[in-house]
Structure formats: C-alpha cells, structure tokens
Structure 1
Amino acid sequence: MTTSEQLLAKKQNNLKIAALTCYDYPTAVLEEQAGVDVIFVGDSVGTNILGYDNETQVTLDDIIHHLKAVRRGARQSYILGDLPYACYDTPEQALDNAQRLVAAGADIVKLEGDRPTIVSHLVAHGIEVCGHIGLQPQTHQQKAVQGKSFAQAKELLEQALDLEQAGIKLLVLELVPEEVGKLITEAVTVPTIGIGAGRYTDGQVLIVNDILGITPRKLRLAKRYADYQTSTLAVMNQYKLEVEEQVFPSEDNVRHMAPEELQQLLDWVKHRE
C-alpha cells in the first residue's frame, strides 16, 4: 500500500508522482489498476458529479459518501479526502471532521490556504495533512492565475514554508506560474503536486472527468485523453434507435423456458380462461 513516506522517496529520487481525482467505485478500481500514486476524493465532486454551481456547496457528507465508494474500489491506494468549505474554521472543528474522513477511508486530508495552526493541531493528533495554495476554489470567486507578481509569489512561497513547518506531508499548488511552482518545489522538502503549476512540481493531479472528456470544457491546464461525451452519446443514440426498431433485444439477449415447462404453463393458462 502506498504511503506518504513512499511519496517523499519519489521526490528525493526525482521520480514524478501521478495523482488523479476519483468519485466512485468503478473508477477507483481502474485507477488502482493503473497504479495512480494518489487518488483524490476532492470537492471537485460538486461541479463534476453532483451538479453544484461551485465547490462551496459541497458538504462533508458528500465527501464521505464518495470517499467510502472510492475506498471500496481502491483498497491498497493512498487516498486523499478533501475537507470541504467551512469544515475547518477552528482546530477542534477541523480535527473532528478530519477524523470522520479518516474513518471513511482517507489516508490524508486536504485543506486550503495558509492555516498552520489548523495543520499543527491535526498533525499533533496523528492526522496526515495536505496543504493547498495558489488558486483556492473554496474561497476565490475568480478562477485566475495566482502569484503572477513579485508580492504574490513571495507570499505563496512564505505560505508553503509555513505549512511545511506546521507538518504537512504534501502540498498542492494550483494555477500558479511555472516559475513559482518550481521555486516552491525546490524550497520545500515535502512533495508538491501541481495542477496548472507547470512542469517542475514533484507530481501532477488532474480531474478525471477532464482527462476522459466527460465534461465539455477545455482547460489549458488539462489534457483530454479521450472523448467520452461524443462516444457515449453515440452509444445512447444507437441504443435508442435499436429499441425503437426492435433490433434490441435480440435472440442473444433473451432466455427461454424448457419446452415441457412452457407447455405446462400454457395448458394452465388455457384452463383458467
């Protein structure tokens, strides 16, 4: 089973970490078979699966529900569970909710922003924590690149060092210039996982819906490896047509009674009339 120590060893040996979001059992099975290093049950479930307008609508119960399904499918994987919006405003609240995620199957929990006091409290109680700086979907209204100016980049670097000092095991860098991603990765000893943070982070994470082409959006930070929407719509259209034209079901899709059993049934029906 993957551990945070193994992820750290990857950084130390210049081996890249592959991370991917996951929200359900069958996808988790495939991600584990593919050897994904970190499986993220993120609050991105809200806009990608649940139809919410934004990440702030995601509840702890939402995360727990999907986390349990993912753990059933990926029993040996290192799974990250997101602490959703307004679930870690105090150390006590953060610990209670983080423990619920761990009980549901998370190996590590993630929270956004420069919250060293919260991180320290969780770590002191045996919870592995992943930090998340740069774009923070739970609080930033505009999905814009963070850290483009000297002052912003300096602040991000200081936040990364604060979180490392507090005891994080991983650090997500979202939507920052490649130069900033590189500098932070070199400055901290913990592995960095980038999403739209350039080529020099210790690993990458993308939303599984984006790489499969499930969602219609095209993001610069992502790469579409398949076209699920087009292929799936074609299958659905074909199915509908075959039902309407009585092509499906065919002889291959049905089961028959034994002739003697059928005759007995027909005789019984006839005598009832």
Structure 2
Amino acid sequence: MLSAADIAKRKEPLVVATAYDFPFARILEAAGMDIVLVGDSLANVVLGLKSTREIGIVEMSVFVAAVVRGAPNTHVTADMPFGSDATPELAVANGRKFMELGASSVKVEGVKLDAIRVLVHAGIPVMGHLGVLPQTATSFRAVGKSDECRAQLVKDALAIQEAGVFSFVLENVDADVAGEITRSASVPTIGIGSGKGTTGQVQVLHDVLGITENPPPFARAFTDLRSESLRAVKAYVDSVRGGLDLR
C-alpha cells in the first residue's frame, strides 16, 4: 500500500478512481489502482441526488467502511463532505472518524488552509482539491482561462502545498494552467478534465465502466457495462417469464 509520504514523492503517473462499495473496491485493488477515492460524488452517482451537498458524514462513513473492507491493501482517500470541515475542530473530529474506519487519508475541497493545517498536525494526511469545486460550484465550466483566474489557481496551489497536502486534485482546469501548476508543484497533481499534463488522473469508476447515462465530456468509457448489464437482466426477465427453471 502506498502511504501519503510515498505518494507525495511520486514521480510516476498516479492512477486514481472512485469506488463506493465492497465489490467495486475489490476490483480496483485487483487491477492495481494506486488510490481509491471514496468521493462525495456518490451522492449523484449512487444515491441519485442532485448535489454533493446533500450527503453528510454519516452516509459517507458507511461507504468508506465498505471500500476499506474491499481494498484493504490500497490507499483509500475519503472525501470530506460538505460542512464536515467547516471549522478546524470539526475537520479533525470528522477526519479521525474516517481514519478509524481504515481510510489512509482525507480529501479537502477548496482553499481551507486552517482545516488542512490542523488535520495534518493531527496526523491525518490530506489530499487537496482545486479548480471546479462541486460542493460550492454554480458553474461546472472549465476554470483558469483568464489571467486573473490562472494567477489565483497558481496562488491557491502554493497555499495548500504550504499547508501540508500530500497531493491535490485539479478538476476541470484549463490544460495549460494545470500543466503549469504541475511543473511548479512540490507534490503530485491528479487531474480530472484538466488535460494530460498532471502527474496522475482520477475518474469516476461508473464513467470508466460506461454505466453513467450522461457522463461529463471529459469522461472516457473503456467498456459499455450499462448495455451489457441491461442485456443480461433482460435475458433473465425473458427466461423467467418463459418458464426457465433456475434451480
């Protein structure tokens, strides 16, 4: 298992994907995933909710525990859900809950420097997250195209590095800006919709498997599991209705 310290020094490409349950976590571990992210995206992907703001620490804890059981030998990062890191004290309390469940680190969305610092000081490794921030975003368009936004992203990256993150996600950031940040970063960057210039990539597993009905434009499906699953279930329905003995 890669530790946060191992990842912080990593120069080779990092491969990251989400998992929200035991069976998919087992698959990711068997495939050799570097980091399994229990993202708050499960609010949308698994629970059918409109926003990641609709899921809290209680729900996240159930999924984190399941993924840790499925991938016991892989670095598991738990997303800090909306409001769970609103104050430094709350961040530490909730971060400890995830660590007690077996997570290897937590992910903090945005430039919450005080929360990052106290988590790191408490011995809880932190992955950062810049660019489009789903917990607070009003638009999911790519960021970093203007000079002002580019400068702010570079400044934010430096700030969270100094606060102690061991890596950070760049979500839907202009590819040139993401590359610039990566070249100047002291820790790995993990891109999603941010071009090929980041240290690693993260994808939602359901997008990779072709399960998502309306995936984001930057997602890439490596198979069409939704069609295969639908075909199999229809075959089962037809077989039962046709009198097949399944015993």
Structure-1-length-normalised TM-score: 0.88
Consecutive unaligned residues in structure 2, runs of 5 or more: none
Match of 1:45 among 42, 45, 48: 42
1:264 aligned residue: none
After TM superposition, list the pairs within 5 Å mapping 1:182-221 onto structure 2.
Answer: 182-221=179-218
For residues 96 and 218 of structure 1, the distance between their equivalents in structure 2, rounded to whole angstroms, comes to: 34
Aligned ranges 1:1-273 → 2 under 5 Å: 1-11=1-11, 15-249=12-246, 253=247
Matched to 1:176, the amino acid is V
Please give the per-residue CA displacement for 1:97-128, whole angstroms capped at 9, x wherever unaligned.
Answer: 11111111211111111111111111111110
User: Structure 2 CA distance, aligned partners of 1:218 and 1:90?
Assistant: 33
SS of alignment partner, residue 75 of structure 1:
coil
Shift of 1:248: 3.4
Displacement, 1:31? 0.5
Q: Aligned-pair distance for 1:8?
A: 3.0
Structure with higher RCO (Cα < 8 A, 6+ apart):
2
SS at match of 2:151: helix
Mapped contact 2:19–2:67 kept (Cα < 8 A): yes
Moved more, 202-211 or 103-112: 103-112
Task: Calculate the aligned-residue CA RMSD, in Å.
Answer: 1.0
2:15 partner SS: strand
Q: Distance in 1 between matches of 2:139 and 2:96?
A: 31
Structure 1, unpaired ranges of 5+:
254-273
Matches of 1:188 and 1:150 in 2, distance apart?
19
Judge conservation of contact 2:7–2:166 (CA < 8 Å) in 1: no
Partners of 2:6 and 2:160 in 1: CA distance: 20
State the number of aligned residues: 247
Kindly provide the amino acid, as one letter, of the partner of residue 5 in structure 1.
A
Distance in 1 separating the partners of 2:122 and 2:232: 50
Which has the greater radius of gyration?
1
Letter paired with 1:31? L
More helix by proportion, 1 or 2? 1
Once the 2 structures are TM-superposed, how far is the Cα of residue 96 of structure 1 from its aligned partner?
0.5
The alpha-carbon deviation at position 154 of structure 1 amounts to 0.5
Structure 2: how far apart are the matches of 1:9 and 1:121? 22
Q: 1: distance between equivalents of 2:109 and 2:151?
A: 18
